[in-house]
Amino acid sequence: MIEWWHLLVSFFLANVFGYGGGPSSIPLMYQEVVPNHAWMTSSGFSNMLALGNALPGPIATKIAAYVGYQVGGWPGVLIAVAATVVPSIIALIFLLNMLQKYKQSPVIKGMTLLVQPVIAIMMLLVTWSSFVESTKTIGYLQFFGIAAVAFYFIQKRKIHPAFVIVAAFVYGGIFLQHS
Amino acid sequence: MKLSKQLGGRGALTNSYIQIATAMFRTGILGYGGGPSIVPLIRYEAVTRFKWMEDEEFGEVLAIANALPGPIATKLAGYLGYRLKGVGGAIIGVLAHIAPTCAAMVGLYSFIHFFSTSTIIKGMIAAVVPVVAVMLAVMAYEFGEKAVKGLGWYAGIGFFVISFLLLQTLSVHPAIVIFLFLFYGAFHNKLQSLWKKKQQKGETI
């Protein structure tokens, strides 16, 4: 019972202090899981992280699910995942509902307009870091080759990105094997 | 019957719950690299595929979501679900997005050795990164285009430079940058009309 409470508090804190999405909460979750509560060893945590990175989807909830299961079985999963996602969703819904009410006011219109350049630059920076990471593992030729094909099919031919990603899986599984 | 005709009879996908579940399931099992790299996939489903909202609104939602702490993809999944179908929609959206991978995480631990050493799986993931990078770049471009359209070339580029300096050169926290821009944005329209009035006066004198 007390472990459930600890799960709730740990995952709530690790995510409420993590800015910039799940990946930036990983060190905070490590702090709670390994040194604070000794739910896992340090190498256990890195193994779990390796598995998490090999699977798709948001990373914070995958970690919460795994640690939750180890500590408290399926109820543990539920508690840890809920503590990870529910507070920030409620905050977002609350804030956006408030903004919606005043949608037509020039104040809100100005705010909506002024966030566009910030979002553009933030996305540009994420693009840049994934470019740098990717070229380190697969090289410039592969990167630009795959990127060009993906651009053609998603932007020009308007194919659903899901198909392009599945095609990339197949291509990578055959031609980009590496250790 | 009447309703489905009005909606164009596109079958099950006209049901909002099924739309939310489909979109969030797809983005949850196809996005690699954690929440931030899943954002363009979510945008594709919300804006292009299912047309739940305009791109401007998505940008606003994304900005506010970035200004708040916590995982980003689940915030979007929850909010989009909520916007369509209230609390039930939010729950469906988040569950469809994370339940498959959470279950996989618990179920696959005994295969961890296979997953973390398989050269095939590493190759598969490596090939997805450029695809996601393209989607991120397109998204950056399109929001940049909107900024220039709304603010004009001079102000638009000025604000790009300011955001770049703050975020990259000075490493100011993204949440702080967003709050600063939102704060200024609240006065932007008023300042602009004042400035225009002043200019007109200047011309008549």
Amino acid B3: pLDDT: 46
* Spatial separation of the C-alpha atoms in residues B126 and A40, rounded to whole Å: 29
Average pLDDT of the residues in B54-74? 89
Could you tell me which residues come within 8 angstroms of residue A75 by beta carbon, excluding any fewer than 6 positions away?
A4
pLDDT tens digits for A39-63? 999 888 888 887 888 888 899 999 9
pLDDT bin (cut points 50, 70, 90) of residue B11 is: low
Contact B174 A19 (CB under 8 A): yes
Contact B68 A125 (CB under 8 A): no
Average pLDDT of the residues in B35-49? 91
Task: Give the gap in angstroms from C-alpha A4 to the nearest C-alpha of chain B.
Answer: 17
Helix (H, G, I), strand (E, B) or coil at B24: helix
Name which of A71, A97, A114, A126 to mutate to probe chain B: the one with the most chain B Cβ atoms within 10 A of its Cβ: A114
Amino acid B5: pLDDT: 43
| Percent of chain A clearing pLDDT 70 (strictly above) | 99
Amino acid B75: pLDDT: 95
Please give the structure tokens belonging to residue B115: 């997953």
Taking only residues 7 to 66 of chain B, the set having a beta carbon closer than 8 angstroms to any beta carbon of chain A reads 26, 28-41, 44, 49, 56-57, 59-66
* Spatial separation of the C-alpha atoms in residues B108 and B113, rounded to whole Å: 10
* pTM for the model: 0.83
Average pLDDT of the residues in B95-101? 95
pLDDT bin (cut points 50, 70, 90) of residue B205 is: low
Contact A173 B124 (CB under 8 A): yes
Taking only residues 101 to 120 of chain B, the set having a beta carbon closer than 8 angstroms to any beta carbon of chain A reads 101-106, 108-109, 112, 115-120
Per CB-CB distance under 8 Å, the chain A contacts of B138 are 151, 154-155
CA-nearest residue to B77 within chain A is: A89
Name which of B58, B72, B109, B167 to mutate to probe chain A: the one with the most chain A Cβ atoms within 10 A of its Cβ: B72
Domain boundaries defined on chain B: 2-121
Average pLDDT of the residues in A55-77? 93
pLDDT at B100 over 60: yes
Average pLDDT of the residues in B63-69? 86
Considering only CB atoms, B134 lies closest to which of A52, A151, A172, namely A151
* Rg of the Cα atoms in chain A: 20
Write the DSSP assignment of B121-181 as a string of letters. HHHHHHHHHHHHHHHHHHHHHHHHHHHHHHH-HHHHHHHHHHHHIIIIIS---HHHHHHHH
CA-nearest residue to A161 within chain B is: B41
pLDDT tens digits for B140-181? 998 899 899 989 999 999 999 999 999 899 988 777 888 899
- Better-predicted residue by pLDDT, B116 or A113: A113
pLDDT at B2 over 50: no
Task: Give the gap in angstroms from C-alpha A35 to the nearest C-alpha of chain B.
Answer: 21
CB A53 within 8 A of CB A59: yes
| Percent of chain B clearing pLDDT 70 (strictly above) | 92
* Spatial separation of the C-alpha atoms in residues B117 and B126, rounded to whole Å: 14
pLDDT at B22 over 80: yes
Amino acid B175: pLDDT: 77
* Spatial separation of the C-alpha atoms in residues A113 and B148, rounded to whole Å: 10
Amino acid B12: pLDDT: 57
pLDDT at B58 over 70: yes
Whether chain A has a CB inside 8 Å of the CB on B91: the answer is no
pLDDT bin (cut points 50, 70, 90) of residue B9 is: very low
| Percent of chain B clearing pLDDT 90 (strictly above) | 48
Per CB-CB distance under 8 Å, the chain A contacts of B65 are 92
Contact A125 B132 (CB under 8 A): no
Average pLDDT over chain B, rounded to an integer: 86
